[in-house]
């Protein structure tokens, strides 16, 4: 009896051992290193590292308005992504879930944007948004809305929105793939049974699809928040954070501090604060999901 | 089914171990060079081959681009003492100083002053190009004075203008604007003829910085600018507000091409190469870029149109790329020998010819194309933050440049920006003086 | 005229019209979105066939003189053969590693009870949420200490780790919602936990695994920064490094770069096509029924 208990006990941990080994080595160690460096004023090169306590954090919280502007910008884009992007992804997933002609083709096509690298995305959208020769302005003139033409990426009123559009264009493919996978694992019999009972599409959606998809929704939301808050390569490829600070986001600020001004320790502090905010957001999401599961 | 995975990992382990076979003498003597200049990799490889033919010493060039990744790589390598024999240091003088103080950069002053036929190694270079790598006595970084690197080429950033577009607007293509007023009036004429005026990669804020400092030094003189960096003159001083107002004038008269404020330099280069703008603010490397995009482009390079004749108009420039020698490398001797060879006239002429860049070796200048010589014309007036006696803090520079972006999009006034920049400056000064 | 026949006809037409219109709008919508997705790739493809001088001035959807030789130049100039093979090796090993390691751990988190389970899970997930751009340098220092710099293992292991949090989260969520009857009956029959995991749980997790695989493949295939830091030897470099050759500090050779990008994108698409067949309908239904 004892042998079995021990074997059981060990067995539990064997399953998670490889994951934990990797995690401990390659995640936890760098992780702690960053925490350790965030309380120094290290410049990233010299072997001497001076401890400065919480000075970096104090400065960030009180005397660094640009960091919080960038945070605000990130929230803006994330909000748009959570709503517009994910609704689009869900809608498309629902459409493709049926047996429609060419469903497979659509699935591949919608996954194209995420596959493209930042360079291509940047080049193309720079061209689309160009103030003089851009596709968007041509199109607007074509349909008679020529007065709306502008330099979308340089105009402070539209720059962040323009960048958000690029992000959503690229991002909906991820949500689409996950949502479709979720939809496809709902047993078809449930739908058939409901139809036989006379339910229409809306009721089917409300009482079968939604409850079963809640975990997937939560997953997509969390991934969207995490992915969008960390937006970076699109900004670098298009506006560089400008004009002014209108399209700066936390990661561009952190990278600029780290590489541009060699305040490595300070940048680590920025990273820590940013990470804590993200963690809080995810915790909220998980809490919400627990509540919704009980409904 | 578990086994395939284990096998795979063991297989790879064996592979990687097999990779570190015994090193033969030739490999031990191989000089490794790290760089980020993708455009010049081919030229470097060819030069390495030539060096090997002459001296039987192998040189290996390794390319890591883009420059941000390169910077991360050398910083990471500095942490683990895995820097190569020769490499370049991108970034501010402060970083250069850190590398030196950590023992990764050899002091080349002695080798530079060795007399040989044709003069010392040092004299072969343009003075300004060498100054970027020099630390003067009493420098603010507490680095032992000396010259720690050698330049490979030289750049200068000037204004280029399209001769054909000038003709189209009825302006004399051989009489470009010399003063700011002339510049504004030429722009008016161009506007009337439906030609876009000025483009530059202002999305990259250092370009804004370059143009702004040129005008600042022209307006108030170098000395005063340095005094501002030291904190003795506030940014709210009328001289600085005047500099900022120049950008307001540009905005009011719609001189900038639409979208220039967030354009990267490469896009600005396309715009000028495709003849969609009459003026561009760009560096000497653009000669190669324009040639590739539009060989029929007719253009010339001029100084930025001056505000006043009281002080000289400065040109942002100096060394393009430089190489340093790793002080901890046990191939120091041959590395220095290689660098000496690399910067000789013949090699420099080849290098400049292949990459259409200005050579760092004075004597090789004779063999460059006419448009490039226009860039080289004011070499004595070049200046660059890395050779200033004082440096301005990164935060202040960013506030200043981003402030100019705001002026260009009509969001803030020059006075407001000046006040903001001064606020940041005061915060930085306070931080620096804390015990 | 039969009154019943008269009233019967309009009803049928109404239903049919509704179905056709809905179908039309659905397809129209899907097509518009598809064009928005396809357009950039097409433009990249068209650009790859133009020349450096015309790539920005020629706005045609397909150039009159397509320069197919750009693909040959891109392949040879950037040593694509070598990098392709490397990327293939890395992608396969990382994905296999990620799928096995994370599915095992996710299964344990979902099905087993042991002390510290919840804390461990939270810790692993939370690090996924804290992105630390600076961690690359710390990672490099660590790899150096382990003598893994410039080795393929040193490049592969951190990447497996990189996908772990997502994989564990994805799979645990999936396993949590999987009915336990099959597994319980297998255990009653005397199967060890490993066999239950291997023969029952894993096959049923195909949709989640397919999703994880797709994400991981893309992450590894497009990986760049870690390769730049960890690998120095050209023989170990992945595809993205090949692309870098065309992006000079000053001159970007756009047509060649686009050709290179198309070359790198095609395999991912092919794999995705193959994988997404695994996200098929009702496999759980099949298992429950049986």
Select the highest-mean-pLDDT range: A269-278, C13-22, C274-283: A269-278
- Provide mean pLDDT across the span B412-433: 89
Mean pLDDT of chain B: 86
- Judged by DSSP in three states, B381 sits in helix
Q: Which CATH class is domain B27-152+320-369?
A: alpha beta
Are C161 and A23 an interchain contact pair (Cβ–Cβ within 8 Å)?
A: yes
What are the sequence ranges of the domains in chain A?
Answer: 60-294
What are the sequence ranges of the domains in chain C?
Answer: 79-245
A262 or B293, which is more confident? B293
Q: In this structure, what token pair is assigned to residue A125?
A: 């959208």
pLDDT band (50, 70, 90) for residue B3: very low
Q: Is the Cβ of C136 closer than 8 Å to some Cβ of chain B?
A: yes
Q: In this structure, what token pair is assigned to residue B273?
A: 């190469």
Domain A60-294: which topology?
A: MetI-like fold (1.10.3720)
List pLDDT tens digits, range A65-115: 889 999 999 999 999 999 999 999 998 888 887 766 677 778 888 888 888
Q: Are C121 and C111 in contact (CB under 8 A)?
A: no
Q: How far apart, in whole angstroms, are the C-alpha atoms of residue B403 and residue A245?
A: 9
Q: Is the Cβ of C238 closer than 8 Å to some Cβ of chain B?
A: no
Q: How far apart, in whole angstroms, are the C-alpha atoms of residue B74 and residue B87?
A: 8
pLDDT for residue B32: 93
User: What single DSSP character describes residue C115?
Assistant: T
Q: How far apart, in whole angstroms, are the C-alpha atoms of residue A46 and residue A52?
A: 16
For residue B433, what are the CA distances in angstroms to A5, B25, B394?
Answer: 65, 53, 17
Contacts of C228 in chain B (CB under 8 A): 64, 69-70, 72-73
Q: Which CATH class is domain C79-245?
A: mainly alpha
pLDDT for residue B66: 79
Burial status of residue A146 (CB atoms within 10 A of its CB: 0-12, 13-18, 19 or more) = exposed
ipTM: 0.76
Q: In this structure, what token pair is assigned to residue C15?
A: 């239903």
Q: Are B405 and B203 in contact (CB under 8 A)?
A: no
Q: In this structure, what token pair is assigned to residue A263?
A: 């305040």
- Provide mean pLDDT across the span C183-189: 80
B162 or C191, which is more confident? B162
| A 197-226 residues inside an 8 A Cβ radius of B | none
- Provide mean pLDDT across the span C29-42: 87
**Closest residue of C to B71, CA-based?**
C229
- Indicate where chain B has its CATH 3.40.190.10 domain(s): 27-152+320-369, 156-317+393-429
Are C161 and A274 an interchain contact pair (Cβ–Cβ within 8 Å)?
A: no
pLDDT band (50, 70, 90) for residue C9: low
Answer yes or no: CATH 3.40.190.10 is held by domain B156-317+393-429.
yes
Chain A nearest C-alpha distance from C2 (Å): 30
Q: Which of C235, C173, C241, C237 is nearest to C208 (CA)?
A: C173
Q: How far apart, in whole angstroms, are the C-alpha atoms of residue C254 and residue A127?
A: 14
Q: Are B85 and B329 in contact (CB under 8 A)?
A: yes
Question: At residue A212, does pLDDT exceed 70?
Answer: yes
Contacts of A25 in chain C (CB under 8 A): 142, 146, 157, 161
Q: How far apart, in whole angstroms, are the C-alpha atoms of residue B225 and residue A140?
A: 47
List pLDDT tens digits, range B381-407: 888 888 888 888 888 999 999 999 999
A214 or B215, which is more confident? B215
- What Rg, from alpha-carbon coordinates, does chain B have? 24
Are B38 and C57 an interchain contact pair (Cβ–Cβ within 8 Å)?
A: no
pLDDT for residue B23: 46
Contacts of A161 in chain B (CB under 8 A): none
Q: Are B146 and B135 in contact (CB under 8 A)?
A: yes
Q: Which helix (H) or strand (E) holds B352?
A: helix B345-355
Q: How far apart, in whole angstroms, are the C-alpha atoms of residue B96 and residue B81?
A: 16
pLDDT for residue C111: 82
Q: Which chains touch B (3 or more CB pairs under 8 A)?
A: A, C
């Amino acid at each position: 009896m004892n042998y079995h208990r021990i074997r059981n006990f060990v067995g539990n941990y064997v399953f998670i051992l490889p994951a934990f080994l990797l995690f401990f080595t390659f995640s936890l160690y760098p992780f702690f290193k960053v925490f350790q460096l965030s309380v120094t004023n290290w410049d990233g090169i010299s072997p001497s590292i001076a401890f400065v306590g919480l000075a970096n954090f104090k400065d960030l919280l009180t005397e660094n308005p640009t960091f919080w502007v960038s945070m605000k910008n990130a929230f803006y884009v994330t909000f748009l992504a959570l709503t517009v992007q994910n609704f689009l992804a869900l809608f498309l997933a629902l459409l493709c879930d049926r047996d429609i002609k060419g469903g497979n083709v659509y699935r591949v096509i919608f996954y194209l944007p995420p596959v493209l690298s930042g360079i291509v995305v940047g080049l193309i959208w720079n061209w689309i948004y160009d103030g003089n020769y851009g596709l968007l302005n041509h199109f607007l003139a074509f349909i008679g809305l020529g007065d709306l033409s502008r330099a979308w990426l340089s105009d402070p009123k539209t720059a962040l929105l323009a960048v958000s559009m690029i992000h959503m264009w690229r991002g909906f493919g991820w949500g689409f793939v996950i949502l479709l996978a979720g939809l496809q694992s709902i047993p078809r019999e449930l739908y058939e049974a409901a139809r036989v009972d006379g339910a229409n599409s809306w009721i089917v959606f409300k009482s079968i699809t939604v409850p079963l998809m809640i975990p997937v929704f939560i997953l997509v939301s969390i991934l969207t928040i995490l992915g969008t808050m960390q937006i970076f390569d699109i900004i670098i490829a298009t506006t560089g954070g400008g004009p002014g600070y209108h399209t700066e986001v936390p990661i561009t600020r952190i990278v600029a501090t780290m590489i541009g001004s060699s305040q490595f320790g300070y940048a680590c502090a920025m990273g820590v604060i940013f990470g804590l905010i993200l963690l809080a957001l995810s915790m909220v999401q998980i809490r919400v999901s627990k509540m919704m599961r009980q409904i | 089914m578990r086994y395939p995975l284990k096998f795979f990992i063991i297989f790879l382990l064996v592979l990687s171990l097999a990779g570190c076979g015994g090193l033969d003498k030739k490999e031990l003597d191989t000089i490794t060079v790290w760089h980020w200049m993708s455009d010049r990799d081919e030229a470097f490889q060819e030069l390495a081959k030539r060096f090997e033919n002459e001296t039987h010493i192998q040189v290996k060039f390794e390319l890591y681009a883009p420059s941000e990744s390169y910077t991360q790589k050398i910083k990471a390598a500095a942490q683990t003492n895995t820097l190569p024999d020769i490499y370049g240091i991108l970034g501010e003088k402060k970083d250069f100083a850190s590398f030196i103080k950590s023992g990764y950069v050899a002091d080349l002053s002695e080798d530079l002053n060795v007399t040989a036929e044709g003069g010392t190694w040092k004299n072969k270079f343009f003075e300004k190009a060498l100054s970027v790598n020099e630390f003067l006595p009493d420098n603010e970084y507490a680095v032992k004075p000396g010259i720690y690197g050698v330049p490979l080429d030289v750049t200068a950033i000037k204004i280029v203008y399209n001769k054909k577009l000038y003709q189209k607007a009825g302006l004399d293509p051989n009489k470009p604007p010399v003063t700011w007023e002339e510049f504004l009036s030429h722009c008016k004429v161009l506007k009337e003829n439906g030609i876009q005026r000025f483009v530059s990669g202002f999305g990259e804020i250092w370009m804004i910085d370059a143009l702004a400092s040129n005008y600042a030094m022209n307006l108030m003189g170098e000395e005063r600018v340095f005094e501002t960096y030291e904190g003795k003159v506030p940014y709210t001083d009328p001289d600085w507000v005047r500099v900022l107002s120049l950008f307001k004038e540009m905005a009011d008269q719609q001189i900038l091409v639409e979208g220039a404020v967030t354009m990267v330099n490469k896009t600005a280069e396309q715009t000028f190469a495709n003849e969609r703008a009459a003026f561009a603010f760009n560096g000497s490397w653009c000669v190669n870029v324009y040639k590739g995009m539009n060989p029929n482009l007719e253009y010339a390079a001029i100084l930025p149109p001056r505000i006043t004749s009281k002080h000289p108009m400065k040109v942002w420039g100096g060394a393009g790329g430089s190489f340093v020698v790793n002080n901890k490398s046990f191939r120091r001797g041959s590395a220095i020998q290689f660098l000496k060879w690399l910067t000789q006239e013949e090699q420099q002429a080849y290098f400049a010819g292949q990459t259409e860049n200005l050579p760092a070796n004075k004597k090789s200048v004779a063999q460059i194309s006419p448009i490039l010589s226009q860039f080289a014309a004011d070499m004595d007036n070049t200046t660059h933050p890395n050779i200033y006696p004082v440096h301005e803090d990164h935060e202040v520079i960013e506030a200043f440049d981003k402030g100019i972006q705001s002026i260009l999009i009509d969001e803030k006034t020059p006075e407001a920006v000046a006040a903001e920049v001064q606020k940041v400056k005061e915060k930085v000064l306070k931080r620096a003086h804390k015990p | 005229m039969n009154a019943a026949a008269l009233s019967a006809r309009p009803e049928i037409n109404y239903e049919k019209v509704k179905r056709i219109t809905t179908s039309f709008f659905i397809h129209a919508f899907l097509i518009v979105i598809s064009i928005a997705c396809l357009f950039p790739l097409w433009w990249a493809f068209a650009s790859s066939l133009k020349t450096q001088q015309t790539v920005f001035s020629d706005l045609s959807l397909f150039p009159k003189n397509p320069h197919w030789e750009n693909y040959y130049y891109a392949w040879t100039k950037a040593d694509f053969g070598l990098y392709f093979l490397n990327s293939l090796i890395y992608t396969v090993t990382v994905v296999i590693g990620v799928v096995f390691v994370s599915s095992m751990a996710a299964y344990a988190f979902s099905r087993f009870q042991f002390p510290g389970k919840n804390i461990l899970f939270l810790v692993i997930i939370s690090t996924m949420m804290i992105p630390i751009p600076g961690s690359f340098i710390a990672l490099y220092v660590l790899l150096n200490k382990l003598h893994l710099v410039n080795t393929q293992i040193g490049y592969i292991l951190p990447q497996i780790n990189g996908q772990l949090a997502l994989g564990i989260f994805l799979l645990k969520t999936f396993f949590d919602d999987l009915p336990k009857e099959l597994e319980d009956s297998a255990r009653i029959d005397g199967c060890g936990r490993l066999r239950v995991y291997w023969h029952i749980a894993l096959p049923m997790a195909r949709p989640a695994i397919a999703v994880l695989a797709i994400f991981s493949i893309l992450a590894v295939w497009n990986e760049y920064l870690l390769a730049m830091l960890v690998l120095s030897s050209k023989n170990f470099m992945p595809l993205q490094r090949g692309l870098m050759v065309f992006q000079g500090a000053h001159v970007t050779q756009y047509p060649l770069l686009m050709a290179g990008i198309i070359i790198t994108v095609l395999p991912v698409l092919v794999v995705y096509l193959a994988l997404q067949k695994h996200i098929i309908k009702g496999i759980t239904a099949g298992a429950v029924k049986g």
